[in-house]
């Protein structure tokens, strides 16, 4: 009895991962629809001493619409809002985008506000940063990013602040301002949330509308108003160049929201929704963003020996202009489906892998991950090794997903520091999530994290 080992060929696409592909279509990185969020390292320009000011683990969420675009960037190491802006998305600089090995993307529109590197939440009134050189994730007793839920275009973040579980959803106000909405579990500790940093004392509230207090603050960019709605015991407090939201200990869940309005004009309350919605309802799946599938036809290998290589044809042309630079793949238990991740942040599922390969059906499953180059399927759950974290993708209602993660990995500042173990899709994911790993980003300082 003769047995042939049939291996599907995808390796030809790996070369694009190792280096920039000079033959790629012009500005394919810009034409791609990345979905409602994109994880990256974001460069906020230079500090006063001339050094770079990166947000190493930036989660950039798209707000608004095509006519009125806006963006908010969270630092998932510290759970602060690092910046928000309007207009253009990013300037597309960086190895993964335009091939530049010595740059990271910057916001391409006017900055609304930004914050310095440091804790986004304080415990019992303390915002001390215990991290060495202010790099890497905060200690878990302070904050811990757990992941996100996608419900259509809406993104709900899940994280912990102290002993409190937090759900947060950002959105865009009709005036062009940013809205941050929160659901908090009970907490035994007093919590403080950074709402805004300023360069001058904002003084007393400019106006009060119901339970909302508005401050004016010079953030180096524009005059900004901040309004708070929610439990009457939650209040703004201005100190040391910051406007914080102060939340006392509470034995019941609480919900609140606040607005950050640039050039708010007359604060008459028009159009302001003064209640925070139940965000838990948005954590069970929603409309599918990518219902379409793409079909291709594979090719069976014609080798005569015991080792045969089949070809699964990649859907290079697809409705979202996804740049199909495959990083890793693995098979589901049925052997007829596989999952693949791309350098540009996608995860796709291909079905129809049989002895004919006559009809391969490709479904876009996830998008917006930070350069996933490794993928492993364990108990039919998809895990990806990204530059910033290990991500587990949950399939909700058949076509929706949320992601949780093990984010103790650091994004280092030296170039080419990504370890071989981070490339390897078989990284012992079933038994070892606890190891701390370091991956590389090109900036001017060496990370304090030891390469072990």
pLDDT at 405: 61
∠ at Cα 367 (22, 383), nearest 5°?
105
Q: How many CB atoms lie within 10 A of CB 317?
A: 10
pLDDT at 187: 97
* Residue 22 to residue 28: CA distance in whole angstroms: 12
* Residue 402 to residue 416: CA distance in whole angstroms: 30
> Does pTM top 0.75 for this prediction?
yes
DSSP state of 129: -
pLDDT at 452: 34
pLDDT at 403: 66
- Whether 248 has a pLDDT exceeding 90, the answer reads yes
Could you give the residue range(s) of every CATH 2.70.98 domain in the chain?
A: 32-282
DSSP assignment of 390-404, as one string? EEEEEEETTTEEEEE
Nearest CA to 264 out of 361, 349, 179, 383 is that of: 179
Q: Which residue has the tokens 């963006």?
A: 71
- Provide, rounded to the nearest whole percent, the portion of the chain with pLDDT above 70: 71
Region 394-408: mean pLDDT is: 65
Contact 36, 62 (CB under 8 A): yes
* Residue 279 to residue 300: CA distance in whole angstroms: 49
Q: What is the pLDDT of residues 90-141, one digit of tens each?
A: 999 999 999 988 889 999 999 888 888 999 999 998 999 999 888 889 999 9
CATH number for 32-282 (one of 2.40.128, 2.70.98, 3.30.160, 2.40.50): it is 2.70.98
Q: How confident is the model at residue 440 (pLDDT cuts 50, 70, 90)?
A: very low
């Amino acid at each position: 009895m003769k047995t042939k080992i049939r291996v599907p060929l995808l390796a030809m696409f790996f070369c694009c991962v190792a280096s920039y592909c000079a033959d790629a279509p012009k500005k394919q990185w810009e034409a791609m629809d990345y979905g409602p969020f994109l994880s990256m390292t974001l460069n906020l320009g230079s500090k006063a001493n001339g050094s770079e000011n990166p947000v190493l683990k930036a989660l950039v969420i798209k707000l608004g619409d095509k006519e009125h675009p806006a963006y908010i960037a969270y630092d998932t190491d510290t759970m602060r809002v690092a910046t928000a802006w309007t207009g253009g998305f990013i300037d597309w600089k960086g190895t993964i985008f335009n091939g530049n090995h010595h740059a990271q993307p910057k916001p391409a529109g006017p900055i609304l506000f930004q914050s310095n590197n440091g804790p986004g939440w304080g415990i019992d009134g303390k915002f001390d940063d215990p991290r060495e050189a202010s790099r890497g994730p905060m200690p878990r007793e302070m904050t811990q990013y757990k992941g996100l839920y996608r419900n259509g275009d809406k993104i709900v973040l899940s994280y912990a602040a102290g002993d409190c579980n937090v759900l947060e959803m950002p959105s865009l106000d009709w005036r062009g301002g940013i809205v941050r909405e929160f659901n908090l579990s009970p907490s035994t500790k007093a919590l403080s949330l950074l709402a805004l940093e300023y360069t001058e004392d904002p003084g007393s509230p400019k106006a009060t509308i119901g339970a909302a207090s508005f401050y004016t603050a010079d953030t180096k960019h524009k005059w900004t108003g901040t309004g708070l709605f929610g439990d009457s015991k939650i209040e703004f407090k201005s100190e040391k160049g910051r406007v914080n939201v102060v939340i006392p200990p509470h034995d019941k869940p609480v919900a609140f929201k606040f607005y950050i309005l640039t050039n708010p004009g007359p604060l008459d309350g028009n159009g302001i929704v003064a209640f925070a919605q139940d965000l838990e309802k948005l954590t069970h799946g929603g409309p599918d963003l990518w219902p379409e599938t793409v079909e291709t036809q594979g090719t069976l290998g014609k080798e005569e020996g015991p080792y045969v290589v089949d070809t699964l044809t990649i859907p290079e042309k697809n409705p979202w202009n996804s740049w199909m630079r495959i990083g890793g793949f693995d098979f589901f238990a049925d052997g007829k489906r596989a999952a693949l991740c791309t350098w540009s942040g996608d995860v796709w599922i291909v079905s129809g892998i049989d002895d004919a390969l006559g009809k391969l059906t490709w479904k876009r499953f996830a998008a917006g991950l930070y350069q996933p180059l490794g993928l492993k399927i364990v108990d039919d759950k998809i895990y990806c090794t990204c530059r910033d974290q290990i991500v587990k993708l949950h399939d909700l209602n058949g076509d929706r997903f949320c992601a949780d993660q093990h984010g103790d990995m650091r994004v280092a500042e030296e170039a080419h520091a990504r370890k071989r173990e981070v490339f390897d899709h078989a990284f012992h994911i079933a038994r070892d999530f606890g190891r701390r790993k370091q991956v590389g980003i090109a900036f001017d300082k060496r990370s304090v994290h030891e390469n072990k």
